[in-house]
Copies of this chain bind each other. A is one copy, B any other.
Amino acid sequence: MSKKITIEDVAEALNVSKTTVSRAISGKGRVGSATKEKILAYIEENNYVPNAIAKGLAQSRTYNIGITVPDDFALMDLPFFQKCLMGVCEQAGNTDYDVLVSMTKNDDINHLERLINNRKVDGIVLTRTLTKDLPAEYLLENNIPFVAVGSSPNKNIIQVDNDHESACYDLTKLLIEQGIKRFSLFCDNTEYMVNKMRMAGFTKAVEEYNLSDLSTVYENTNDESIDYLVDRVLKTNTECILCMDDSICVRVLDKLKRNDLEVPTDIKVASFYNSSVLERNIPSITSLTFDAKELGKEACKTLLSIIEGEEVQKRQLLGYKISMQQSTKTIMGKDSKK
């Protein structure tokens, strides 16, 4: 591979101006169809590829978008960010955009700032929303195009999310109609918007059936407290443990197993999020599934639209699937075992 050929080279070779070549490529401005074809053919032949950097400088654009990936998340959440990243990459690739990752701790915006200050990207996809969202605030203040994967109360943030609230509402409702009255909801960090939404869905369903008094919500659980909480819950007459996500669910199942308790015979379990971690579990776990890749694609598509100056929807809610499985099955004659 010899030295890269430039727009000037093709202009000279064809005895036209750089302007014309540029126009033939971009499609902007009129070019005689004969000339255009000639140019395109030559480009194809000599596989000329425009220098994206030069193009970027001239247009003050980079044809790159940034994606923030938290580097402090639980291992269980990895598949989510991974799939989301895949979605973004795929979508970006379709329009010759590339994606630049910014690994960031919770709300450390140093790297994000650098990205923006160095003008390395045309926009940002935030893969997580926080209740106090420093990255989002920074982007908003500086007028940088961005879209958040997740929900935010801030109406100025363009957001795409799954409809967690409805999902949790629906699932809880189904369980209630199946006869369950007493739930214990295990919930970790409420700093994440998604957990708030899920809790809201659950609460709504429970209230609707006037079951609020029979259920308990345990907030800010962590690896250490779960064992203790499970023991505590077992002393109550809770029928079903609802887990805010699969990470919690895994620990709960683990603890139940150690207590020699059977699911769903002794107690029922369901999760508000099913990453692949739960997939192979026996018994299979009732849970909600979301398509993270789709989320990424949609977020990227929206971001690209914003960059192009198009109008976009402020908030998009994508669907979900409810997967009713063994873990919440009503076992006939269950009480015989108690």
Q: Interface residues, chain A, CB within 8 Å of chain B?
A: 1, 4, 47, 49-54, 56-57, 60, 62-64, 71, 75, 78-79, 82, 85-86, 89-90, 93, 96, 98-103, 111, 114-115, 117-120, 141-143, 254, 276, 280
Residue among A78, A99, A101, A111 with max Cβ neighbours from chain B (10 Å): A101
User: Which A-B residue pairs are the 9 nearest by beta carbons?
Assistant: A52-B118, A49-B117, A89-B103, A1-B142, A100-B100, A53-B57, A53-B56, A75-B276, A57-B57
Quick one: which of B86, B96, B120 contacts A71, CB cutoff 8 A? B86
Partner of A85, one of B54, B57, B89, B101: B101
Taking CB atoms, residues of chain B closer than 8 Å to A115 are: 98
Give bound CA distance, A87 to B85, whole Å.
17
* Set of chain B residues within 8 Å of A85, measured between Cβ atoms: 101, 103
Contact indicator A119/B71 (Cβ below 8 Å): no
> Which of B64, B102, B114, B254 lies in contact with A120, CB distance below 8 A?
B64
Query: In the docked arrangement, what's the CA distance between A64 and B119, Å?
Result: 12
Complex interface: chain B residues within 8 A of A89 (CB): 101-103
What is the distance, in angstroms, from A54's C-beta to the closest C-beta of chain B? 6
Closest B residue by C-beta to A76: B276
- Determine which of B51, B78, B99 lies in contact with A82 in the assembled complex, contact meaning CB atoms within 8 Å: B78
Q: List 26 A-B contacts (CB under 8 A).
A: A50-B118, A51-B57, A51-B118, A51-B119, A52-B119, A53-B119, A57-B57, A64-B120, A75-B79, A75-B276, A78-B78, A78-B79, A82-B82, A85-B101, A86-B103, A89-B101, A89-B102, A90-B103, A93-B111, A96-B114, A98-B100, A98-B102, A98-B120, A99-B100, A99-B101, A100-B100
B280 touches A254 (CB 8 A): yes
A118 neighbours in B (Cβ, 8 Å): 49-52, 63, 96, 98
